[in-house]
Amino acid sequence: MRIGIVGATGAVGREIMEILAERQIPLTELRLLASARSAGTKLPFRGQELEIQTARPEALADLDYVLLSAGSGPSLALAGPAQAAGAVVIDNSSAFRMEPGVPLVVPEVNGHLITRQQTLYPVGNCTAILLVMALTPIHRAFPIERVIVSTYQSASGAGAAAMEELQEQTQAFLNQEPVVPRIMPHPYAFNLFSHNTTIDETGWNGEESKVRAEARKIMEAPDLQLNVTCVRVPVLRAHTETVHITFRDQAPTEDQVRELCAAFPGVRVVDDRANNHFPMPVDSSHGDEVLVGRFRRDPDDVRGFNLMLSGDQLRKGAALNAVQILEAHAALPPSE
Ligand SMILES: NC(=O)c1ccc[n+]([C@@H]2O[C@H](COP(=O)([O-])OP(=O)(O)OC[C@H]3O[C@@H](n4cnc5c(N)ncnc54)[C@H](OP(=O)(O)O)[C@@H]3O)[C@@H](O)[C@H]2O)c1
């Protein structure tokens, strides 16, 4: 396969390279692209030093797959030309996610939407992907009416510069030096704040609206009630979410939910009450699985149930999901 990565120098782009290497994807070419700022610099891959090119439409010829991870602007400019040049485009930005007729694929949930005819695959919002990985096995067996989600989102969700900022600020804070925000709107080290996306006239921020709309689209559940509050916490990698579910009928037992989650590919149950060990970023970081646990009934509502999840959003929430789509597409028989 000939694969191009646009945004190769970024947090998601680098993770894609790592996953391509780990999963031993057969490659005849890996073309790395980023902004003009990075052109000419090199990144290591499988023992070689690959030079970064400026991402322009002309630089995307003769590729089988183009993975876009450079934000919506570059995706809007480059997805069309890449498709026109014959590539299948897998896009980590939000540019095309809600377009009617364009599937939003999480392979474990709706992998059947990957076909030869479809040449554009947006990858969903990272927080939404982690959420649907936990909700889908439960919802298939016990229909869910309403979900209330609170998130604890890491710096890596905002890219490489935000991760650096959290590290620098932590150092500065411990050295009792002034902490000056550059990327995030507020001091980040030893603090937390409402998600740093734009707030609309309803008071919802962009991340909350994306989680709601995209989870409904991925789960093919347009009527699912989803109330979301997104918060940044000073964690470097991996997002965590607490989830309250109201089922349409009586809630399943904790064992039933445990079994459903444990049987779902890509999910691992971490639910050790004796040791107070539940999903957390230190365990989910750098891993492929979404950790799910802290299963509890709602004492005041027979239809209510609580759980907690944690997943490495650079991997399952972005890079891994993108590579899984690529693998599934590449494995399709020619006629499908
Ligand atoms: N971080 C996450 O957890 C996550 C999860 C899901 C989706 N996403 C999405 O994935 C994309 C990348 O996010 P990230 O976190 O990896 O960001 P990042 O660390 O800030 O990296 C951004 C990348 O885009 C490149 N870039 C910026 N402007 C460009 C331009 N005009 N033309 C070509 N390349 C350009 C940068 O290249 P230079 O180094 O040359 O500036 C860099 O390689 C975004 O759309 C983001 O919303 C991120």
pTM: 0.97
Q: Which of 145, 146, 150, 130 is nearest to 242 (CA)?
A: 150
Asked whether the beta carbons of 55 and 74 are under 8 A apart, the reply is yes
Q: How far apart are CA 193 and CA 185, in angstroms?
A: 9
Alpha helices in 206-311 (DSSP H): 206-218, 254-262, 281-284
Please, what is the end-to-end C-alpha distance for the chain in angstroms?
18
Asked whether the beta carbons of 278 and 159 are under 8 A apart, the reply is no
User: What is the predicted pLDDT for the residue at 334?
Assistant: 83
- The letter for the amino acid at 161 is A
Asked whether the beta carbons of 174 and 234 are under 8 A apart, the reply is no
Task: Please report, in tens digits, the pLDDT of each residue of the chain (336 residues total).
Answer: 999 999 999 999 999 999 999 998 999 999 999 999 999 999 999 999 999 999 999 999 999 999 999 999 999 999 999 999 999 999 999 999 999 999 999 999 999 999 999 999 999 999 999 999 999 999 999 999 999 999 999 999 999 999 999 999 999 999 999 988 999 999 999 999 999 999 999 999 999 999 999 999 999 999 999 999 999 999 999 999 999 999 999 999 999 999 999 999 999 999 999 999 999 999 999 999 999 999 999 999 999 999 999 999 999 999 999 999 999 999 999 875
Asked whether the beta carbons of 102 and 96 are under 8 A apart, the reply is yes
Instruction: State the Cα angle at 67 between 279 and 228, rounded to 5°.
Output: 40
Domains of the chain in sequence order: 2-123+318-330 (3.40.50.720), 128-313 (3.30.360.10)
**From 230, 239, 261, 329, active-site residue:** 239
Atom 3 in ligand 1: residue holding the nearest Cα:
157
Q: How far apart are CA 326 and CA 91, in angstroms?
A: 11
Q: What would you measure as the largest C-alpha separation in the chain, in angstroms?
A: 63
Most informative mutation of 12, 184, 196, 198 for ligand 1 (most atoms within 8 A of CB)? 12
- Centre of ligand 1 from the C-alpha of residue 319, in Å: 12
- Centre of ligand 1 from the C-alpha of residue 95, in Å: 13
CA 88 to chain centre: 20
Atom 36 in ligand 1: residue holding the nearest Cα:
7
Judge whether 239 counts as a catalytic residue.
yes
Cα 262 to Cα 70, 297, 304, 328: the distances in Å are 34, 18, 20, 23
- Centre of ligand 1 from the C-alpha of residue 11, in Å: 7
Q: How far apart are CA 288 and CA 307, in angstroms?
A: 19
User: What is the predicted pLDDT for the residue at 336?
Assistant: 52
